[in-house]
Amino acid sequence: MFKSAVFDLKHAEKEQVKEFLNSFDTVLSDCDGVLWIDNNAIPGSADTMNYFRKIGKRVFFVTNNSTKIRSDFALKAQQLGFIADENEILSTSYLVAHYLKSIGFKKKVYLIGSNGIGDELNAVGIKHVGVGPDHVKPDFKSLKPTDLDSEVGAVVVGFDEHVSYPKFMKAASYLASEDCLFVATNTDERFPKSSSIVVPGSGTLVRAVETCSERKALVLGKPHEYIRKYLESCGLNPARTLMIGDRCNTDIEFGVRCGFQTLLVLTGVTSTRDLEKIRKEQIAPLPDVVLPKLGDLLEIVKS
Ligand SMILES: [Mg+2]
């Protein structure tokens, strides 16, 4: 009943909501725009996530954000009222470290990114260089082969507020070697908008490095399927998994690609108007179910 069109759960009967709740065992939720916005919890989200846990669901927090380590994400979630353990946090900073460790990577990473990724790499014993400013010199093309680190065997690109031309030159120079791995956290175009200022996201940097290296990155974050493979190794059944998100082109696309059920909430990036546009123009996959906010689910159950 939930697969053929977008089902507005807000107007569902209590029995339909119960049937929906019985249709999955695992809940994956995006964070920003679903559970919280910046440092403010979205009303009702914590109670609903904690309720999922109470009725026996496994819960994971899935975020494309690469600027924090898992324990910091878990702490933030706990401070905002969510029951959360760091093992339930699937951030792209962690996925980068997990991926490189899983393939037995022993060399050094050239990192266009932040300490979030750097600290996760440290935790699995992988060395890295590149975090922090790398200023443009008067002669912007003045990079020499001796400026490159011969131990580097992978370029990782995530969010980096210190991104600069020398960083692009180094990344592309390392990637000129076919043996050098190319891994990216995510390809989000922008940060969620809170004013008229556009804040470019990691995708901006990934596309720049792809362009100058003439290579394609292995992208680990949503909507790519690496997370499903990771979770299948923890016993996840895709057909009985619900993905909750606020963006059709990352969260819902990810859920659809992985064979999960999908729930869109309208507290973040995708608005009611966007959803109508997506429905008409078919520019992104539609969710199975929609709710104005996650907390509405618990209100219906308890009504
Ligand atoms: Mg989001």
Domain ranges of the chain: 7-64+223-302, 94-219
Q: What's the half-sphere exposure (Cβ side, CA atoms, 13 Å) at 99?
A: 25
Under a CB-based contact definition with an 8 Å cutoff, are residues 140 and 165 in contact? yes
Q: Which two tokens stand for residue 124?
A: 């699995």
Instruction: Give the pLDDT score at 5.
Output: 65
pLDDT confidence bin for 4, thresholds 50/70/90: very low
Judge if pTM exceeds 0.75: yes
CATH superfamily to which 7-64+223-302 belongs: HAD superfamily/HAD-like (3.40.50.1000)
Q: What is the pLDDT of residues 156-211, one digit of tens each?
A: 999 999 999 999 999 999 999 999 999 999 999 988 766 788 899 999 999 999 99
Quick check: 283 pLDDT over 60? yes
Does 47 belong to an annotated binding site?
no
* CATH number of 94-219, picked from 3.60.15.10, 3.40.50.1000, 1.20.120.80, 1.10.3720.10: 3.40.50.1000
CA angle 243, 22, 63 (to 5 degrees): 15
Distance (angstroms) between ligand 1 centre and the Cα of 65 equals 9
Residues 133/103, Cβ–Cβ less than 8 Å: no
Please say if 30 is a catalytic residue. yes
32 is catalytic: yes
pLDDT tens across 77-91, in order? 999 999 999 999 999
User: Among residues 8, 30, 85, 139, which one is catalytic?
Assistant: 30
Token pair 């520019």 is at which residue?
A: 283
Does residue 246 have a known ligand-binding role?
Answer: yes
